[in-house]
Amino acid sequence: MTDLEDGSGLTVPLSDGVAIVTGGSGGIGGGVVAALSGRGVRTAVLDLAASGSSGPGGAALTLDCDVRDPAAVAAAVARVSAELGPIGYLVCAAGVVSEAPVTELDPAEFRRVVEISLYGTFHALRAVLPHMVTRGRGSVVAMSTGWATKGYPNGAHYAAAKAGVEALVKSAALEVAAAGVRVNAVAPGPVETPMLTDFPDYRARAADRARAIPMGRVGEVGDVVGPVMFLLGQDSEYMTGQVVQVNGGLLMP
């Protein structure tokens, strides 16, 4: 077992040495990759923006992979296992967001968002869980959102996809718990990443967002990475099928 400090004085035990992060070239995904790599975990990034043998945050392997394609995900997982070793951790962070009212939402855009966030998580779970079940241990964290519970005006497709992720996580957790594998989710509120800041009117909306949050600010990547690492590590070994809200008090379901 390796006990490594997380920078806040807390010890986060991580006993397995290989992780996969889908969407690991993005804001939260990239933060998770950096945190895992900093703990000595050999980390593979699966992302459309990734290619080559080195990547963000000290990743050991980066693979150009469209998580909407089950064959591509399965092939990438097989390569990670062959090149880096047995997979102990999976973080499903691939996702996209856009905004439009339901009555104006292009069905193709609805499908795109759902396929990346929900289908992509399913394809990763389907490819990785058998490795973990065979070994009798493993930990998975999928990224959801507070909007999955609260609803997202002009973002129904994103909220629906993430609500599906939460149901998928709970169902998978029930299936693999007896095998020693845990599956949880983290549901952030607004976080300062390109997914949020790339909206043209983000700065105009930022102050209103911050005022709506009891803790008085929009989240940062590190606010989310900490709970993800906790759920991956052995300090949470009796937690599975849970959705952890990380939102500064914006949502208390």
Residue 2 forms part of a structural domain: no
Instruction: Answer whether residue 180 is part of any domain.
Output: yes
Domain that holds residue 22: 18-246
- How large a percentage of the chain has pLDDT more than 70? 87
Residue 10 lies in a domain: no
Coil, helix or strand for 104? helix
Task: With respect to residue 106, please indicate whether it lies within any of the assigned structural domains.
Answer: yes
SS3 64: strand
Domain count for the chain: 1
The Cα-based distances of 149 to 91, 161, 246 in angstroms read 21, 11, 13
Residue 8 counted as domain residue: no
Flag whether the pTM goes above 0.85: yes
Q: What's residue 55's pLDDT?
A: 52
Q: Does residue 253 fall inside a structural domain?
A: no
Sign of CA pseudo-dihedral 61, 65, 68, 73: negative
For the segment 70-116, what is each residue's pLDDT rounded down to a tens digit? 999 999 999 999 999 999 999 999 999 999 999 999 999 999 999 99
Residue showing tokens 């962070």: 93
Catalytic site positions: 158
User: Mean of the per-residue pLDDT values for the chain?
Assistant: 89
Query: Does residue 252 lie in a domain region?
Result: no
In single-letter form, the type of residue at position 180 comes to G
CA atoms within 13 A on the CB side of 202: 13
The CATH number of whichever domain residue 179 belongs to comes to: 3.40.50.720
Closest CA to 16 of 84, 76, 93: 84
Q: Does residue 11 fall inside a structural domain?
A: no
Residue 26 is predicted with a pLDDT of: 82
